[in-house]
Amino acid sequence: MDANLDQLVVLLMDGDSAAALQEGRRLRAADGGGPRLVVAALEAAMDRMSTKCTTEQFNLLEIMLTGRAAMAVARDTFPEGAMPATKGTVVIATPEGDVHDLGKNLTRMVLTAKGFRVVDCGKDCPLPVMVMAVAREDAFALLVSGLISPVVPMVRQLRSLLRERGLAGIQLVAGGAALKQCTAEALNVDYVAGDAFDCARHLELLQAHRP
């Protein structure tokens, strides 16, 4: 890795938002005001966190702190709110009836820092709202996160709802404590992600193989 990036990556990994902001500004100044180094550092931090947080060692708190620091640096670098989205658009939501959105928010942060454009439909979200967002935003994937078991039957309906809107090719990914107890076949989705980084890896792999 570029030695210039290393300090920012370390600060992001530590979840030190204030120091990361300062280092991000220093990097931008060193790069003639451009965001290139900062964007590279954000992605490098997420990659390093991904390696550290294998499914067995994943814990929300550390990743939330890194995510919060990364979002602070991103907002400072792109005050107009648009991180460069080099890896395409995804829609993310927690289905209607489930108000637990910690996992969804964390996944949104990880994917944003890794260069995806993430359209967040929020928690307690009706299925038609998710499907409409996929169509409207020209997303290539729909990500659903569920902590409680009553959302399982709803997730099973998503494929047919997407088909009805002519969106049969959309990648469906499920995650969260309840949904990851199921297989992809049982949920009628393409992939069940073990955690936010697993989700990111899966989406990156898909993008790498897209024509």
**Where in the chain does DSSP place strands (E)?**
89-93, 117-120, 141-145, 171-175, 191-192
Considering only residues 178, 193, 196, 203, which one is a binding residue for other proteins as defined by CB under 8 A? 178
Q: Could you say whether residue 150 binds other proteins (CB under 8 A)?
A: yes
If you search the block for the tokens 């395409």, which residue do you land on? 88
Within 120-149, which residues bind other proteins (CB under 8 A)? 149
Considering only residues 3, 32, 51, 59, which one is a binding residue for other proteins as defined by CB under 8 A? 59
Looking at beta carbons only, is 12 or 178 nearer to other proteins?
A: 178
Helix pair angle (36-52, 3-14), 10° resolution: 50
Cα–Cα–Cα angle for 88, 94, 96, nearest 5°? 135
Q: Could you say whether residue 68 binds other proteins (CB under 8 A)?
A: yes
Considering only residues 25, 26, 48, 58, which one is a binding residue for other proteins as defined by CB under 8 A? 58
Candidates 22-30, 39-47, 64-72, 158-166; binding stretch for other proteins (CB under 8 A): 64-72
Looking at beta carbons only, is 61 or 208 nearer to other proteins?
A: 61
Q: Could you say whether residue 102 binds other proteins (CB under 8 A)?
A: yes
CA 2 to chain centroid, in Å, comes to 25
Binding residues for other proteins, total number by CB under 8 A:
23
Q: Do 178 and 144 meet the contact criterion of CB atoms below 8 Å apart? A: no
What are 15's two structure tokens?
């979840």
Helix and strand numbers (H, E) in the chain are 9, 5
Residues making contact with other proteins (CB under 8 A): 15, 56, 58-62, 64-65, 68, 97, 99-100, 102, 105, 149-150, 152, 177-178, 181-182, 186
